[in-house]
Amino acid sequence: MVVARKEKTAGPVGQSVLRNDVLEKATGAAVYTDDIQFGPGLLFARVKRSPVPHGILKKVDVSKALALPGVKCVVTGKDYPDLMGLYLKDRATFAVDRVRFIGEPVAAVAAVTEEIAEAALDLIELEIEELPAVFDPELGAQKGAPLLHPDLENYVHPNFIFPEPGTNISNHFKIRRGDVEAAWPKCAAIVETKVRVPHIQHVPIETHVAVALADDKGKVTLWSSTQSPFAQRAMLAKTFHVPESDMRVIATYVGGGFGCKAGVTMEAIPIALALKVKGHPVKFRLTREEEFYTNFVRQGLILNLKVGCDKDGNLLAMENTMYWDGGAYTEYGVNVTRAGGYSSTGPFDIPNVKTDSICVYTNHPSGGPYRGFGMSELHTGLLQVMDMLAEKIGMDKVEFLKKNVIQGGDTVATGMTMHETGIKECVDKVAAAIDWGKKEAPTAPNKLRGKGIAVMWKAPAMPPNAGSSAIVKMNSDGTLDVSIGGQEIGQGTFTAMAQIAAQTLGMPYDAVRVSGPIDTKYSPYEWQTVASRLTWSMGNAVRLAAQDARQKILNLVAEAWKEDPKDLDIQDGVVISYKSEESIPVKDFVVYGLPKENDQGWIGGPIVGTGSFMPTYVTGLDPETGQGPRAVVHYTTGAQAVDIEIDKETGRLEVLRAAAAFDVGKAINPDLVAGQIEGGFVQGMSSAMFEGAMLENGVWRNPSFVDYRIATTMDVPPKIDAMFVETAQDDGPYGARGVGEHPMVPTIAALANAIKDATGVRITNPPFSAEKIYLALVDAGIVK
Amino acid sequence: MSLHRITLKVNGSTEIVDVPGNWTLLQMLREKLALTGTKNGCASGECGACTVIMNGDAVNSCMVLAAECEGAEIITVEGLSKEGQLDALQKFMIETGGIQCGFCTPGVLLSAKALLMRNPNPSEYDIREALAGNLCRCTGYNRIITAVQKAAAVH
């Protein structure tokens, strides 16, 4: 008898299941890199750093440091002169013959205690001939500026990075689309402005930690707090001339990343030492102060923007020249510049575009990936200009945004056809959430109240061939292990992957085990945990691996039951036949197989599924015009709106209501999506209100949590309305695309626009500190 | 550095520890007692990740010398659950989504625990103030506040 094919049970995808990592984290059992015990053979590393922003390194004398009892070894740039870098190989482990920022590693010491290693640093003598320095990227880009990298022409880079040897420009990305010059006379309104976005720091609560051990054959094991175990393996293997398979990276839970634990920052240093003291693990842990000024920073940006529209508000042209303060080494930062370039219009349909996105070497800390990868900085300028344009032609800002936001089928400025996206719906949702258009009364007579809105987009920024892989192993107790190479950095990826595997296989969510550490020796390859790409890319690999395991299970049972696999299904861990109504729990045969009839042997064996995913459809772009069929895999879009108040007596900004909505394609776990949206909003708000590196002649003046304040419990609005829409992504698992970075991208602009609405004063450059707002109100004559 | 022998109670258990005079309570917990749930985020009393309860008060363990802990009673995150039963704060931090990367979580839990020990019925403002010294870069804080409110309700 044929039974009716039942509607598949709902399954865990789309459900807010509890995270699978939080019991460990709530009890103190979760292991982070600094928690691993290495026994009494452990040595401690400290680093001698450049005290000047730019100079010729004439001498590094380590003899006195080596003689200090307890010091086991000292290494310098002479020991390891090889250059490394993710996109442009411009950085050595230690300065070799030139220093380029204050804090640059010059030498490192390994000793039996951290105190002795620190004391040894004072015994290292440096002789440096100071050179004129570059602190402003716009000036640094000019011919005649002091040159930081005279060897730029020899640096290795992929074909989508365009350095200009003989200058400080390490990448110059261009878009030339339509004819901006011809468009300006047709504009009814043009806004031209310069916006400066300061450097900020990621400040994960866990600072960088890495422990290296080399064996007597020179095989290296690195335990590191990283978003990128596989990228570290590849880069560090090359740097130290070790085969990739002999460079093993083990990565436990990460105490916050936000981009700064991607690629390689400080992890080469303990390896450089460990190779000289084989058999001794060497631990290097950044102090909070080092975390501020030697870790990747979010680059400062100077945006020169000119945007015009017709009298009906239709955008006609944009000219966007961005000078990125790339810092001393731009090995990773060059790709931030590229991403800022190809996404430089923001989520708008603009027919005439001229973009120059220029990465400039300066004698500041090195720039690198920061949650949003250039998009927060770009949108800070662009979405204020849109606000100004709407004001100029007298149009409602929500109406102006909805008129111009990009839609499925539109052509992106790089020539790619935009996929379907729900950005208009996002705008409607956030506008409704804060009662857009309704003038609210201030809560006190000394306050000014206003509202602001901004939209955003962001694509995963990565090499075109960044891949993912996954392995599903079935267990005889009804569980399964999903092995992945992507990192749990707080975003909940272990949980999302368990949901995807469970849904695809037909197993209960609780049966799926996903756990760290990620170990390059045993975990399947993953490019990096960056770019909001895991849910999408690794999710595809996990789905394929689960499908593979599922098919093997169905084929085995079909063979045993002499049925067609098409008539079989797996529901809640049980294989069922719609035809014969037979059933058997998966756990009964996925390891030990099934017996043939009459004791004639067995069929099957341990079931393992594998899956790989790599986008194969991202194309190159023309170096002069930035045009090509498909610059990126896809864009996640969204909107944010805020209702704020300014205290006229203090200048203090308070966010009363905040709303955010993003088109996530499919929310694999709605509660985790909301968690990203809330946390991202607060990180964006913190950067808007408080954060900025105070760099003075290359000296970081505020490298502590006292002087570099981040948002606390006292600063956040009581409720952040986190919403999403779901326009399925055709290349995503269950239609999903990423949303990890996006929530902080529009926040600075939304707040700047709200400040303007509340006070009538436009303050373009963050941070919008109480002092800055108060002084602007005084200048405008609003307060006396 | 000469060693000091100190006797103290950690999570209800009496410990005798020999520590150098310049060591902090944080170092002693992590490196002598292997209680690595207590985290080091700044070592200068600014981030709250190392918060533990000492004689009933929340303290930054990086700012307390181990030698000062003679006779003290310390509670760390490892001491919050009893015989496998989670403390209400742990339970609600899990359920409300107050944990992402988890690095600030132990400090948050102990600051909140100290608050509930001295004030079983805190207002939302009381909770925000008690946790103002615990920096979190992931969650945006509101789910943490909700978790503490829920824990207070069943306390």
CB contact under 8 A, B43 and A674: no
The residues facing A571 across adjacent strands are A574
Equal CATH topology for B3-79 and B88-154:
no
C-alpha dihedral sign at A559, A560, A564, A568: negative
Residues in A closer than 8 angstroms to B41, CB to CB, are 205-207, 255, 288
pLDDT in tens, A156-181: 999 999 999 999 999 999 999 999 99
pLDDT in tens, A46-84: 999 999 999 999 999 999 999 999 999 999 999 999 999
pLDDT in tens, A78-106: 999 999 999 999 999 999 999 999 999 99
**Which residue among A23, A203, A258 places its CB closest to the CB of B94?**
A23
**Which residue among B86, B128, B141 places its CB closest to the CB of A682?**
B141
**Which residue among A32, A287, A706 places its CB closest to the CB of B43?**
A287
Location of structure tokens 């030990």: A592
CA distance, residue B68 to nearest chain A CA (Å) = 21
Q: Give residues 20 to 39 of B whose Cβ lies within 8 Å of A.
A: 30, 34-39
pLDDT in tens, A746-779: 999 999 999 999 999 999 999 999 999 999 999 9
Would an 8 Å CB–CB cutoff place A740 in contact with chain B?
A: no
Model pLDDT, residue A8 = 54
Q: Which residues make up the CATH 3.30.365.10 domain(s) of chain A?
A: 22-30+466-613, 300-462+620-779
Residues in A closer than 8 angstroms to B127, CB to CB, are 713
Would an 8 Å CB–CB cutoff place A256 in contact with chain B?
A: yes
Task: Count contacts between A and B (CB, < 8 Å).
Answer: 157
* Cα distance between residue A564 and residue A577, in whole Å: 9
Backbone angles phi, psi at A369, to 5 degrees: -70, 135
CA distance, residue B104 to nearest chain A CA (Å) = 7
pLDDT in tens, A773-784: 999 999 999 998
**Which residue among A22, A28, A720 places its CB closest to the CB of B37?**
A28
Find out whether A426 and A433 touch, Cβ atoms under 8 Å.
no
What's chain B's average pLDDT?
97
Q: What is the DSSP string of A563-631?
A: --GGGEEEETTEEEETTT--EEEGGGTTTT-EEPGGG--EE----EEEEEE---------TTT---S-S
Model pLDDT, residue B23 = 97
**Which residue among B132, B140, B144 places its CB closest to the CB of A714?**
B132
Q: How far is CA A714 from the centre of its chain?
A: 26
pLDDT in tens, A316-348: 999 999 999 999 999 999 999 999 999 999 999
- What's the mean pLDDT in A179-184? 98
Q: Give residues 11 to 30 of A whose Cβ lies within 8 Å of B.
A: 18-19, 21-30
Query: Among candidates A731, A221, A664, A733, which has minimal Cα distance to A422?
Result: A664
CA distance, residue B78 to nearest chain A CA (Å) = 6
Would an 8 Å CB–CB cutoff place A616 in contact with chain B?
A: no
Residues in B closer than 8 angstroms to A489, CB to CB, are 101
**Which residue among B49, B97, B137 places its CB closest to the CB of A710?**
B137
CB atoms within 10 A of CB B61: 30
The residues facing A83 across adjacent strands are A92
CB contact under 8 A, B77 and A27: yes
CATH topology of domain A300-462+620-779: Aldehyde Oxidoreductase; domain 4 (3.30.365)
Q: Which residue of B has its CA nearest to A721?
A: B142
CB contact under 8 A, A31 and B77: no
Beta strands in chain B, from DSSP E residues, in sequence order: 3-10, 13-20, 51-54, 57-60, 73-75
CB contact under 8 A, B131 and A491: no
Model pLDDT, residue B84 = 87
CB contact under 8 A, A713 and B131: yes
Residues in B closer than 8 angstroms to A370, CB to CB, are none
- What's the mean pLDDT in A497-515? 98
Would an 8 Å CB–CB cutoff place A253 in contact with chain B?
A: yes
* Cα distance between residue A343 and residue A334, in whole Å: 14
**Catalytic residue flag (residue A206):** no
* Cα distance between residue A254 and residue A37, in whole Å: 17
Q: Which residue of A has its CA nearest to B124?
A: A718
CB contact under 8 A, B140 and A716: yes
**Residue A720 predicted with pLDDT over 60:** yes
CB contact under 8 A, A27 and B78: yes
CATH no. for A22-30+466-613: 3.30.365.10
Would an 8 Å CB–CB cutoff place B40 in contact with chain A?
A: yes
CB contact under 8 A, B101 and A206: yes
pLDDT tier for residue B155 given thresholds of 50, 70 and 90: confident
CB contact under 8 A, B39 and A716: no
pLDDT in tens, A626-679: 999 999 999 999 999 999 999 999 999 999 999 999 999 999 999 999 999 999
* Cα distance between residue B33 and residue B14, in whole Å: 11
Model pLDDT, residue A10 = 79
Would an 8 Å CB–CB cutoff place B149 in contact with chain A?
A: no
Residues in A closer than 8 angstroms to B23, CB to CB, are none
Model pLDDT, residue A5 = 47
CA distance, residue B142 to nearest chain A CA (Å) = 7
pLDDT in tens, A349-361: 999 999 999 999 9
CATH topology of domain A34-131+210-285: Aldehyde Oxidoreductase; domain 3 (3.90.1170)
CB contact under 8 A, B94 and A26: yes
CB contact under 8 A, B46 and A704: yes
Is the peptide bond prior to A767 cis by the omega test (within 30 degrees of 0)? yes
Query: Among candidates A374, A371, A377, which has minimal Cα distance to A489?
Result: A371
Long-range CB contact pairs, B123-132, < 8 A, 24+: B124/A718, B124/B149, B127/A713, B127/B152, B128/A713, B128/A714, B129/A713, B129/A714, B130/B58, B131/A712, B131/A713, B131/B48, B132/A712, B132/A713, B132/A714
**Which residue among A27, A256, A714 places its CB closest to the CB of B103?**
A256
Find out whether A530 and A336 touch, Cβ atoms under 8 Å.
no
H helix or E strand, kind and range, residue A283: strand A282-285
**Which residue among B41, B90, B139 places its CB closest to the CB of A206?**
B41
Q: Give residues 72 to 111 of B whose Cβ lies within 8 Å of A.
A: 76-78, 80-81, 86, 90, 93-95, 97, 99-106, 109
Beta strands in B29-77, from DSSP E residues, in sequence order: 51-54, 57-60, 73-75
pLDDT tier for residue A288 given thresholds of 50, 70 and 90: very high
| Domains in chain B: boundaries | 3-79, 88-154
Q: Which residue of A has its CA nearest to B39?
A: A206
**Which residue among B35, B93, B145 places its CB closest to the CB of A26?**
B93
CATH number 1.50.10.10 given to B88-154: no
What's chain A's average pLDDT?
97
CB contact under 8 A, A718 and B124: yes
What is this model's ipTM? 0.98
Q: Which residues make up the CATH 3.90.1170.50 domain(s) of chain A?
A: 34-131+210-285
CA distance, residue A30 to nearest chain B CA (Å) = 8
Query: Among candidates A152, A148, A165, which has minimal Cα distance to A98?
Result: A148
Model pLDDT, residue A590 = 98
CB contact under 8 A, A28 and B140: no
Give me A36's structure tokens.
């691993």
pLDDT in tens, A6-25: 445 579 999 999 999 999 99
Q: Which residue of B has its CA nearest to A287?
A: B42
* Cα distance between residue B8 and residue B10, in whole Å: 6
Q: Which residue of A has its CA nearest to B35?
A: A28
Residues in A closer than 8 angstroms to B124, CB to CB, are 718
CB contact under 8 A, B142 and A34: no
Residues in A closer than 8 angstroms to B53, CB to CB, are none
Q: What is B3-79's CATH number, 3.30.1330.40, 3.40.640.10, 3.10.20.30, 3.40.50.720?
A: 3.10.20.30
CA distance, residue A686 to nearest chain B CA (Å) = 10
